[in-house]
Amino acid sequence: MHSGYLEGIVRGYKNSLLSASAYASLAQCETLDDLRMQLAATDYGNFLADVPSPISTSTIAERATRKMVAEFEYLRSNATGDLAKFLDFLTYAYMIDNLILLITGTLHEKDTHELLERCHPLGVFESMPALCVATTVEELYQSVVVETPLAPYFRECVSAADLDDLNIEIIRNTLYKAYLEDFYHFCVGLGGTTAESMATLLSFEADRRVLNITLNSFGTSLSKEERARLFPTIGRLFPAGNNVLARADDVEQVKGVCEMIPEYRGFLGGEGTGAGAGETSAEGLEDKMFREETRLNKLETITQFQMGIFYSWLKLKEQEIRSITWIAECISQNVKDRISDFVSY
């Protein structure tokens, strides 16, 4: 199917994202059944109609995710050529998270068949059930290296000896680094508006990871050399900001690096609204970066005739589901004073 036709479809998806007035209506709901009725008046329709009361927050999130996945899979099943490969790249991040979940479960001798049910559906691939046959970390590693789309990243970055509890987050970040750099170079190779749009979006994602890795490494056994090896070699912080962060000892030095990028000023402390405002923690940073990510993706969806809109729609849809889940959880826990702290666009 022609990529221009699919771009038209994803623009339709984008236009169906919840409006400010729809969010306002959701935030006024007193019960989760009220929330279900309000969502039925949006593009979500009757996606919860067959769920008996009382409905749960987890069910709302799971059904919303299922709808997003169905829309994405329609695009992927009709895409060809570079667009098909581009959409495949979008699934690799979910695959990494799913594989880390399976590796962790294998280390702790969990039932990996049960873990499969917890995997994100966008990160499920054809050979994933075969990984559940592995009974040791070594067997799992061999299966991953041979059978999965992430095999190149594992071969280049991870050995079977690395697969232990102490290294699990290092492995996750090492794989993400390889993935982001690979995706970035693929998009740059496409040229044109796609290259420009995706360079902006993937650079932001790389910077987000660099800042989070730095903050989360303080007070841990991770050496500065190991920290530096986890930083993607792309992004607006690369190379000068990365070099400073590799040697940073405290949050103040991280703040100083954020000041180098106008859009990142105030990410750690300073002015802000909503959850995380004024905080100097990784949690506060994550909230502000979600808001910046949402702003960037909203801007990119305006640009026509480029593949970045598929990335941006998926990110905006994920943020929408997080916001709906936040509102639902506030209603469920009767903490209405925080219900407006969700990230919208």
Q: What are 21-44's pLDDT values in tens digits?
A: 999 999 999 999 999 999 999 999
Backbone angles phi, psi at 193, to 5 degrees: -65, -35
Q: Compute the distance between CA of residue 231 and CA of residue 176 in angstroms, rounded to an integer.
A: 9
Cα 302 to its chain centre, rounded Å, is: 21
Q: Percentage helix, strand, coil, to 5, in the chain? A: 70, 0, 30
Cβ atoms within 10 Å, residue 239: 11
- Of residues 279 and 99, the one with the higher pLDDT is 99
Whether omega for the bond prior to residue 152 falls within 30 degrees of 0, making it cis, is no
CB 344 within 8 A of CB 295: no
CB 231 within 8 A of CB 242: yes
Residue 270 pLDDT exceeds 80: no
pTM of the model: 0.91
Structure tokens at 65: 């995710």
Residue range 79-109, pLDDT digits in tens: 999 999 999 999 999 999 998 898 888 888 7
- Picking from 145-159, 301-315, 325-339, which range would have the lowest pLDDT averaged per residue? 145-159
Quick one: pLDDT at residue 204? 98
Domain ranges of the chain: 191-306
Cβ atoms within 10 Å, residue 279: 17
Backbone angles phi, psi at 77, to 5 degrees: -70, -20
Q: Compute the distance between CA of residue 245 and CA of residue 4 in angstroms, rounded to an integer.
A: 42
Residue 10 pLDDT exceeds 80: yes
Quick one: pLDDT at residue 102? 85
